[in-house]
Structure 1
Amino acid sequence: MKIRISWPAGNVIATLDDTPTAAALLAALPLQSTAHTWGEEVYCDTGLAPALEPDARQVVEPGTVAFWTEGNALALPYGPTPISRGEESRLASPCNVLGRIDGDPRALTTVRAGDALHVQLA
């Protein structure tokens, strides 16, 4: 399943895997939230509260679509965060992996804290 994440300066398409958290997110769409940034990561509150899945990870590839269960937030890393070691994308804590951004995740560099983020089916 594909979703579109858009903000005033752009958008990305992402392909979601078949996971319980991805299913919960899809059921909640369309979603509107406010963007927050943390290093080279964009995240936003979803109002969802899924459980941490057994294969949750803290270090992911740039462009991973993740869900931060501790913050009820969609997490979109595109590079290093303040706690990364080197160039890795290290999330604040283990997150559920939902899928991957199609194309270049560096498109997220144009998201500014406070931007309106829209998440919908693509």
Structure 2
Amino acid sequence: MDSRSDLRVVVGDRELTATWADGAPETRVALEDTLPVSSDATRWGDELYISASLEAPLEDGREVVPEGAIAYWPAGEKLCLFWGPTPASVDDEPRAAAPVTVVARVDETEPLVGLDGGAELRLERAGDP
């Protein structure tokens, strides 16, 4: 694992690293206070999401997000991982169903391309056992 990564993201049997995004300080603190977080994820196109209740408002809300975005949807209390198009997408961009706060980004999305169905999604601090 990259020693510069901030988070370890486990999707089923795939382990990824992620770094914090700029511009979402309240969401980042709320997520850091909640880690580790883990649940069976629901799949929506090339997005997985889990329930996560964070004390954070929508910050810099947007629907189109970068590939690899880890985002929080405060209205639905969901933590989402995007790696490709969703049913809401126009063309191939990752698009949320409603505005979300991008809080981090996985460093590489290639391991997610072959994901079949849903999976357990776990986020934890990098370096935690």
Query: What is the TM-score of this pair, normalised by structure 1?
Result: 0.87
Q: Identity of counterpart residues, as a percentage?
A: 36
Aligned to 2:107: 102
> Which residues of 2 match residues 4-15 of structure 1 at below 5 A?
4-15=8-19
Equivalent pairs counted in the alignment come to 119
- Unpaired runs of 5+ residues, structure 1, are none
Instruction: Name the stretch that deviates more: 6-15 or 90-99.
Output: 6-15
Instruction: Please list the CA deviations of residues 16-65 of structure 1 after superposition, one character each: whole Å capped at 9, or x if unmatched.
Output: 13521011001111112121110011111113242111x11110111112
Distance in 2, matches of 1:82 and 1:8, equals 22
Distance in 1, matches of 2:20 and 2:100, equals 15
Q: Does 1:47 align with 2:53?
A: yes
> Which residues of 2 match residues 35-114 of structure 1 at below 5 A?
35-53=41-59, 55-103=60-108, 105-109=109-113, 110=115, 112-113=117-118
Q: Does 1:30 align with 2:30?
A: no
Query: What is the TM-score of this pair, normalised by structure 2?
Result: 0.82
From the two aligned structures, give the one with the greater strand fraction: 1
Deviation at 1:86, TM superposition (A): 0.6
Amino acid at match of 1:51: P
- Unpaired runs of 5+ residues, structure 2, are none
Instruction: Please list the CA deviations of residues 38-95 of structure 1 after superposition, one character each: whole Å capped at 9, or x if unmatched.
Output: 0011111113242111x11110111112111122111111111001111111101010
Distance in 2, matches of 1:69 and 1:111, equals 27
Amino acid at match of 2:13: A
Deviation at 1:111, TM superposition (A): 6.2
From the two aligned structures, give the one with the greater helix fraction: 1
